Amino acid sequence: MALVLEFASTVRHGGHGGLVDDLATPEGFAAWTGAEADEALRQRVVELRWAVRSLLAHATQANERLDTPHLMDFERALKTVNEAAARVPRAAQLEWTEQPRLRYEDSADAGDRLLATLATAAIEFLASGTREDLRACPAPRCIRYFVKAHPRQEWCKPSCGNRARVSRHYHRAHD
Ligand SMILES: [Zn+2]
């Protein structure tokens, strides 16, 4: 799965009507990122995650979903993602011992590098042709995004399709 979708999927529907957020605790944050559980960094990564989800919602014209109240307006989301990516300006360096070799160097710390890596993955994804196959899963309660693997794929996974069919049947039977 693309890094941007893994990042977006750190928050999902929990099955009890609420959201489950893998990045909500220092332990969860450390487990997902492999980074030190620095609270300021955790908050920035969570903010970046909502910015990324806001852009995914914009790209897919997602309907109102369970995470909608957390989303930010388009301009702020763009700015948040772009600023995070710009935290690691890098310079091309030429190393020349036997053969000339390109190496990139930066002076960022590990936290900035984490933010920049996640933001850059989102930028590269959204600016690529893959974006056209990005979908917001329309199943009840699902808040996942997915890239269509084949033209007729409607749901992020088969269980979402089953749930949507059951829900439609239920509403037809009770209307
Ligand atoms: Zn789904």
Q: What is the pLDDT of residues 64-119, one digit of tens each?
A: 999 999 999 999 999 999 999 999 988 999 999 999 999 999 889 999 999 999 99
Q: What's the CA gap between 25 and 45, in Å, rounded? A: 12
Answer whether residue 81 is part of any domain: yes
CA-closest candidate to residue 119, choices 36, 39, 51? 51
Query: Which stretches of the chain are DSSP H helices?
Result: 3-8, 26-33, 39-60, 74-85, 110-126, 158-174
Ligand 1 centroid distance, CA of 164 (Å)? 9
41's tokens:
């960094």
Answer whether residue 47 is part of any domain: yes
Q: Residue 16 has what pLDDT?
A: 78
* DSSP single-letter state for residue 74: H
Ligand 1 centroid distance, CA of 21 (Å)? 16
Query: Domain span at residue 109?
Result: 3-131
Contact by Cβ (8 Å): 153, 169: no
CA-closest candidate to residue 40, choices 51, 48, 32? 48
Answer whether residue 18 is part of any domain: yes
Ligand 1 centroid distance, CA of 139 (Å)? 5
Ligand 1 centroid distance, CA of 25 (Å)? 25
Q: Residue 35 has what pLDDT?
A: 81
Answer whether residue 146 is part of any domain: no
Ligand 1 centroid distance, CA of 79 (Å)? 28
Q: Residue 138 has what pLDDT?
A: 92
Answer whether residue 143 is part of any domain: no
pLDDT of 174 higher than 70: no
Ligand 1 centroid distance, CA of 159 (Å)? 8
Q: Residue 121 has what pLDDT?
A: 97
Ligand 1 centroid distance, CA of 7 (Å)? 16
Give me the mean pLDDT over the 126-150 stretch: 94
Answer whether residue 86 is part of any domain: yes
The total number of structural domains in the chain stands at 1
Q: Residue 165 has what pLDDT?
A: 85
Q: What is the pTM of this model?
A: 0.88
- Among left, alpha and beta (phi > 0; psi -120 to 50; other), residue 141 is left
Ligand 1 centroid distance, CA of 15 (Å)? 12
Ligand 1 centroid distance, CA of 156 (Å)? 4
Greatest CA separation found in the chain? Answer: 76
CA-closest candidate to residue 9, choices 22, 24, 25, 27? 22
pLDDT interval class at 172 (50, 70, 90): confident
Ligand 1 centroid distance, CA of 119 (Å)? 24
pLDDT of 175 higher than 70: no
Answer whether residue 155 is part of any domain: no
The size of the chain, in residues, is 175
Ligand 1 centroid distance, CA of 106 (Å)? 39
Answer whether residue 156 is part of any domain: no
Q: Residue 99 has what pLDDT?
A: 96
Q: What's the CA gap between 102 and 51, in Å, rounded? A: 32
